[in-house]
Structure 1
Amino acid sequence: MSIELDETRPKWRQVADIMRARIADGTYPPGARIPAVIALTSEFGIALATAQKATRALRDEGLIRTEIGMGSYVTGRPPRASSD
């Protein structure tokens, strides 16, 4: 079963947002391996290129690092919004 995504927003952004939230809440703690792009295609019902674009966004933000042939791993957590 895949997660329902909003058809009015780019799917890769929504997937990246969900993955970012999972990193922030500790579902994927620092050092943990995140699901492979193939697993993301199944979970979210998206194309391979869409999953790759979502993980590339997280990598560009410095939230994950990718080891060729090994997978992608969490490097840190996004800052939480200030409650000031």
Structure 2
Amino acid sequence: MFEFAPDIPRWRQVADVIRQRIADGTYPPRSRVPSVVQLTEEFGIANATAHKVLQALRTEGLTYTEPGLGSFVAQQK
């Protein structure tokens, strides 16, 4: 189970992990990032927290969502 720092919001810590995985190529461009269900299982977070993670990554332009298919890594400029 992931160890959370007590003074940083959980959604931010999980987003940092996913961001790092994108940067190091674990999730290459156009590959699927974990779903809400997968994030809740891997990190032990609530659905709302997982949604916030995906929203933050999408807002940063790191991911995009295909309705009905999931979230994917965006091509980096």
Q: Does the pair score TM above 0.5?
A: yes
Unmatched 5+ residue regions in structure 2? none
Off by >4 Å, runs of 4+ in structure 1: none
RMSD, aligned α-carbons: 1.3
Q: Counterparts of 1:1-84 in structure 2 under 5 Å?
A: 2-77=1-76
TM-score (norm 2): 0.93
Unmatched 5+ residue regions in structure 1? 80-84
- Contact 1:64–1:73 (CA under 8 A) maintained in structure 2: yes
Larger radius of gyration: 1
Secondary structure at 1:72's aligned position in 2?
Answer: strand
Deviation digits for residues 45-81 of structure 1, max 9, x if unmatched?
Answer: 100000000110000011000011100000035x9xx
Report the Cα offset of residue 31 of structure 1. 0.6
Cα separation, 2, equivalents of 1:18 and 1:27: 11
Cα separation, 2, equivalents of 1:61 and 1:46: 21
Secondary structure at 2:39's aligned position in 1?
Answer: helix
TM-score (norm 1): 0.86
Cα separation, 2, equivalents of 1:76 and 1:7: 33
